[in-house]
Structures are given as structure tokens and as C-alpha cells.
Chain A
Amino acid sequence: EIVLTQSPGTLSLSPAERATLSCRASQSVNSRSLAWYQQKPGQAPRVLIYGASSRATGIPDRFSGSGSGTDFTLTISRLEPEDFAVYYCQQYDSSPLTFGGGTKVEIK
């Protein structure tokens, strides 16, 4: 099983700042089969990024993903008020699918 470790656990930033979230895998994730999800309180997660760097339909271009192998990054270029939420990475390279523990982006 591929274990995903996200850091930091909490990121305290102000609107308009840049957010950089990390996801590290216990073994190489082939074909960049890594996704990022955003979850707001009381809502189900929604996919932001798949294939490590492809934005899902309707996702603003301030969200970008990068990385390969075991190290992946989600960057939010300029935080909007609606971006304060919890973010999860997920690998879909091999079964079982696994999630990282999440990074909470909170308002400073």
C-alpha cells in the first residue's frame, strides 16, 4: 500500500498570499497518478487536480499541481476567501487507493 504524507498539517495564511502544500509518497507513484481534492466544512470533497498537474473541469488557474515520483506539490497562487479549506492528495496508481492525511489552509 502506498502511504501518502502531507505537510504541513495546517497552513495559516492571509488572502492573496501563495500557498504551497506538499504530498510525499512512500513509494513512487507511476504515471503521475496523483490527485488533489478540496473539502470545505459540511461538504464532500471535490477534485481539483489529477495526473499530478491537470486541472479538473471548472477549477480556476490559480490552482496548480506539480511533481512526480514520490514528491508532489499543490500551489494556490493567490488565496481567495473561498480557498480556505482542507486539501487531500490521493494516489490512484495502485490498489488500494489511498489518501494523505490532509492540510488545512486557514485564515491568518
Chain B
Amino acid sequence: EVQLVESGGGLVQPGRSLRLSCAASGFTFDDYAMHWVRQVPGKGLEWVSSISRNSGSIGYADSVKGRFTISRDIAKNSLYLQMNSLRAEDTALYYCTRSTMQWLLLIEHWGQGTLVTVSS
């Protein structure tokens, strides 16, 4: 069974940093592209960042470019999102997601999310 378990969320002041982690299990981690998607409570879904199987291709939404860094550790079956210079508008539930093997941008599995609240 595919499992994606996020951690690292919490309350943080504007301008500070936070690192999200996602522990993956139930599949061969380095066979799939991975993505972070966020959702402001009660609002829609917003793609944040993507990383290819071998970390050779990485992308970011314009809203986080230059502030967030995605990475993965194959040995630990883990995905990360380093978030710097956080803003109030980054407040959201952050989902770790996995693509399908055939279509790299089609999201097949979602974690339950970790809530990030940016507030003074």
C-alpha cells in the first residue's frame, strides 16, 4: 500500500524558515516523480513544486521560486521542502504527492497533509 506521511508543519513567524518532510513507503521511491501541492483551508489546490525521479528536473511555482527548495533522499525514501522567507500567504495545508509512472504530472497518490501557519 502506498503511504505518504508528511511532517514538519507548524506555526512560524513571517520571514522564518521551515522544512517539511514526507516519508514514502509501499513503492519504489526512485521510480516516481514527486510533487508538493498546497491548499489554503476552504480554498482550492495550488501546485508548489515538482522533482523528477533522479532530481535532474525541478520546478517551482512563481509564488515560491527563490524561497522554497525541493529535494529527495533516495536512501531514506523521503521528500523534502525547505521553505525560507515565509510569508502569511504561504499559510496552507501542504500535501506530498506522487505521480504515476507513465505520466509524470498526473498525481495518483496524496498524503494527508501538514499544516503550515505563518503568523506573528
Q: Is B45's CB within 8 Å of the partner chain A?
A: yes
Contact status B107-A47, CB under 8 Å: yes
Give how many B residues have a beta carbon under 8 Å from the other chain's beta carbons: 20
| Complex Cα gap A88–B113 (Å) | 17
User: Using Cβ atoms and an 8 Å threshold, which residues of chain A touch B107?
Assistant: 35, 37, 45, 47, 90, 92, 97
A102 adjacent to B44 (CB under 8 Å): yes
Chain B proximity mask over A30-62: 1 for CB below 8 Å, otherwise 0:
000101010000001111001000001000000
* CB contact between A44 and one of B46, B103, B110 (< 8 Å): that residue: B110
Q: Any chain A CB within 8 A of the CB of B112?
A: yes
With the chains together, A47 CA to B45 CA distance in Å?
Answer: 13
Q: Tell whether, in the assembled complex, residue A99 and residue B113 are in contact, meaning their CB atoms are under 8 Å apart.
A: no
B106 within 8 A of A: yes
Q: Chain B contacts of A99 at CB under 8 A?
A: 44-47
Q: Within 8 Å CB of B35, what residues of A?
A: 97
Complex Cα spacing A47 to B50, Å = 18
Interface residues of A in 74-94 (CB under 8 A from B): 88, 90, 92-94
B100 neighbours in A (Cβ, 8 Å): 50
Give the docked Cα–Cα distance between A93 and B95 (Å): 21
Instruction: Establish whether residues B45 and A45, one from each chain, have CB atoms under 8 Å apart when the complex forms.
Output: yes
List residues of B whose CB falls within 8 A of some A CB. Answer: 35, 44-47, 50, 59, 61, 95, 100, 103-108, 110-113
Other A-B pairs, 4, CB within 8 Å; known A45-B45, A90-B45: A95-B105, A96-B47, A96-B50, A97-B105
Residue numbers of A with Cβ under 8 A of B are 33, 35, 37, 44-47, 50, 56, 88, 90, 92-102
